[in-house]
Structure 1
Amino acid sequence: MLRAHCPIRTVEEEQQEQFKDAKPCIVPDTTFARAVDQALRACFALLKFTDHIQIVYIRGSTGKVDVYFDKGQGSLKIHCRWLDFACMHHRSLCRPWSRTNLADITAPFFCCHVVEEVLVRSLASMFKAHPTSRLAEVIFMRQIDHRIQLKPYPGGILVSWEDNESESVRRLGPSGPDYHVVLHEDNCANSGTALLHDEAALPNDVVPCGCRRQFARQTHRMCLFTGLSHTSTYYAMISLYEDRAFYGVPSDRVSPESYEKVGSLSL
């Protein structure tokens, strides 16, 4: 009755209003936060009906509101606690031996369950339903690369990585699926922003941006790029060699060692 005479909101409606107007925050520079953000954006890009959605992380209150879809602006506002490893594991760790500090860029990422949960809540906010994660997203998230390491060699860089697939699954096949490894120069226009792998890349050892690429089997997860300039800086992006597979978080930037430096060290 009171609603007809004055603007009265329920507790939930008031929390949503405050959340909608809360200040945005940037993605923390931690392995956990960057991986969650990368995988979530890739999920939305994979789903045709959400590939236009803009994700904004919000410093909301400690209330129950996790996500809010602003239809007018086409933006999905997500509470920044979803980027915080401790907040997402305050009740229990998804691995009993997991470290609580995953700030290191080469730390492992096992928390696809966080991405799946916030994805379901986000889709429910947008479409007022409670869908479950689709099989394609689950498979791609499980095989997202992490712990990408670049080791400089004279005139080259050794790239290695890990994924969350179990060794028992890898033994089922002769060598597992292929990974597509692209070594970008630091000034590449790609800028490490790609979310989904494009299988339509040129069928040679370079990609459309002109940078180098190789393929490696899942059982190997390692490849060596040679003939590189020691004055240039490179970073790696890796995905399954499947159309619209997810890219993991790009690696750190590394320069190859120079032959002159190696020669002087051996004297």
Structure 2
Amino acid sequence: MYDFAGKTVLVTGGSMGIGAAFAHELARRGARLVLVARSEDKLRALAATLASHGTAVEVVAEDLAQPGASRRVLAAVRARGLEVDVLINNAGFAAYGPFTTVPLPTQREEVDLNIGALVELTHLFLPEIERRQGGVIQVASTAAFQAVPYMAVYAASKAFVLSFSEALWAEYRGRGVRILALCPGATDTPFFARAGEAAAFGKKATAEDVVRVGLKAFAAGRSHVVHGVSNYVTALSSRWFTREFVAKLSGRLMRPRAGKELAGASQS
């Protein structure tokens, strides 16, 4: 088990969705929180709610897709005299539509946030996390297990997160550090508010249930966990069938309907 009481936990994308669910659950477990997201107003509203229940909360308003953002987050944490025990890289962003109809700056921003910021924050905070015998939770996706046409960059970015997390798990497991890739499927959060419901596949889970599964797997020292039995079966499909078959099937399921070829991005 891992006792979060008195620990400092940094949550990116902490203003809503899975990030906010992490904040509520960790507050219940007695953690001190550092919440990072773009919207300062949303962060402060959530912090006020948590503080009313006695939780110590710090907020850092930062767009992690921007150059230098990760180091600014580190500086903000240092300025508050804190060291991080657990890092939860939850901030993420998806674009849905045929690859060349999604603007290139949007695709590049997706890579910068989903991969670049996650790697930078992990690199910056991992030395102190190791000293404090804590850990890292990287929020990946069931999209990490196969190619997803019409969300090509998003799925590829989550495949990176899964591989990166499992490599660090093997590297640090003997050094007292937990590393977990949490792989939810479609989840009932604002993630699809701009990406569009057509980007969702399957029944949506609650963010609270995803968080509970993730924290249980983190405590058990697992390298990754897939939320839900049906999602687990889907994740295994590329082992049972050829990758080409899975990609073609995914393409049929995800193909935009007429008039809905491009939806915007959603960041959490």
Q: TM-score, normalising length from structure 2?
A: 0.33
Q: Counting helix residues as a fraction of each chain, which structure ranks higher?
A: 2
Q: Counting strand residues as a fraction of each chain, which structure ranks higher?
A: 1
Q: TM-score, normalising length from structure 1?
A: 0.33
Structure with max Cα Rg: 1
Q: Comparing both chains, which one has the higher relative contact order based on Cα–Cα distances under 8 Å and sequence gaps of 6 or more?
A: 2
